[in-house]
Copies of this chain bind each other. A is one copy, B any other.
Amino acid sequence: MGETAGRSLRADAERSVRAILEAAERVLAEEPGASMEQIAAAAGVARTTIHRRFANRQALIEALASSAARRLAQAVDDGRPDTAPPLVAMHRITANVLQVKSAWAFALELPTDPDSEAVALHQDIARRCITVLKRAQDDKLIDEAADLDWVRRVYYALIGESLRGNADADPDALATRIIDTLLHGARPRS
């Protein structure tokens, strides 16, 4: 039957839920149309167990999206976007996000209902991201006439591109390149 809001599961049940979500990410990333059976097998769990925790395939998907979004939000917070110097915050946040995104790529690019928890989290993350960029702008690192929302979207795109193929490279090295490209582009250095 499945539940939508899980209130205090038993320890082993909680472990099952985690295993299912991780398996779903792994399996669906390779084959978005994979069956519940395949996900269950990858999780080392019976298919019926999935149905006990998640009413629908849809419910599973949304739980997956929410779970990943929460991790991403945590990754951003860990970079101290409001207090650390802009460049430091950007670097730390980028490195953190790269790690979360490489492990939860599928779940994080999932199209979700406009009134789901995941979208709310993503909006919050975007807001925090803009805040950091604004602080960088105040420090003259970004042109004062720049459209910060475009800058943020470019930033997202650079992160996404960095994870194609380089999924297991050093996050700090990737972060350095991302920020350098974001701020300076490809032009010759003066």
Task: Give the CA-CA distance A173 to B84 in the complex, in Å.
Answer: 36
Contact (Cβ within 8 A) B156 A186? no
Q: Counting CB contacts under 8 A, is A161 at the interface?
A: yes
Q: Which residue of B lies closest to A185 (CB)?
A: B185
A residues 12-59 near B (Cβ < 8 Å) are 32-33
A10 within 8 A of B: no
Interface string of A68-90 (1 = CB under 8 A from B): 00000000000000000000000
- Which residues of B are found within 8 Å of A189, using beta-carbon distances? 143
Interface residues of A in 148-190 (CB under 8 A from B): 150-151, 153-154, 156-158, 160-161, 164, 177, 181-190
Q: What distance in Å separates the Cβ of A105 from its nearest Cβ neighbour in chain B?
A: 13
